[in-house]
Amino acid sequence: DDSTADEAISCSGWPPQCEVLRLVQRVLSDSPDVPESIPFRSPESILDSNPGDRSAQLLTGRKSKELTGILCWNSSLESATIRYLGVHPDYRRQGWGRRLIREAFRQLALRGGRQISVYVDARNAAAMGLYRSLGFLPRFSMPLIFRVW
């Protein structure tokens, strides 16, 4: 484990929604890789993507009680899907995303699961690099389509 005493990855439940909303808003406002998606991904829509879904889980990263990152995921016994991974811009490139993903793998493995999938826009070079470095392999690609009405 590469954490220090004031750093932690936790699955102890959802932190206050306002704290998560602030983090997601900051992440979205500082993520220029796919700017056209920003109007379609509000912090509220990310949190509301799994209402009432018993398989929905949240991992949080903290340093000195400050929320550094979150990973929202759904899992069954065999597999899981990462729905959202966001790391506060002040904590990027410090291993927080990697630690959150590794914890998801650890928790899934404890239940006998072996596969985690994620959908990533190929233009998001940082995310693609992170997932590839953790052993994720591209399975397919599809065009990014937006319909505005």
88 or 24: which leads in pLDDT: 88
pLDDT of 30 > 90? The answer is no
Residue 116 φ/ψ, nearest 5 degrees? -125, 135
User: Of 87, 86, 93, whose CA–CA distance to 41 is shortest?
Assistant: 86
What are the pLDDT digits (tens) for 117-148? 998 888 888 889 999 999 999 887 766 555 55
Here the tokens at position 77 are: 């016994």
Return the pLDDT at 26.
Answer: 84
Lowest mean per-residue pLDDT among 81-85, 100-104, 105-109, 122-126? 122-126
What are the pLDDT digits (tens) for 4-20? 667 777 665 566 677 88
User: Of 69, 82, 61, 77, whose CA–CA distance to 2 is shortest?
Assistant: 61
Reported as a pLDDT band with limits 50, 70 and 90, residue 50 is: low
Q: What is the chain's mean pLDDT, rounded?
A: 79
Here the tokens at position 81 are: 């899907």
Q: Give me the percent of the chain exceeding a pLDDT of 70.
A: 69
Instruction: Round to whole Å and give the CA distance between 47 and 86.
Output: 12
Reported as a pLDDT band with limits 50, 70 and 90, residue 36 is: low
Instruction: Round to whole Å and give the CA distance between 65 and 130.
Output: 25
Return the pLDDT at 136.
Answer: 93
3-state secondary structure the chain: CCCCCCEEEECCCCCCHHHHHHHHHHHHHCCCCCHHHHHHCCHHHHHCCCCCCCCEEEEEEEECCEEEEEEEEEECCCEEEEEEEEECHHHCCCCHHHHHHHHHHHHHHHCCCCEEEECCCCCCHHHHHHHHHCCCCCCCCCCCCCCCC
Alpha-carbon separation of residue 121 from 29, 67, 90, 115, 117 (angstroms)? 17, 25, 22, 20, 13
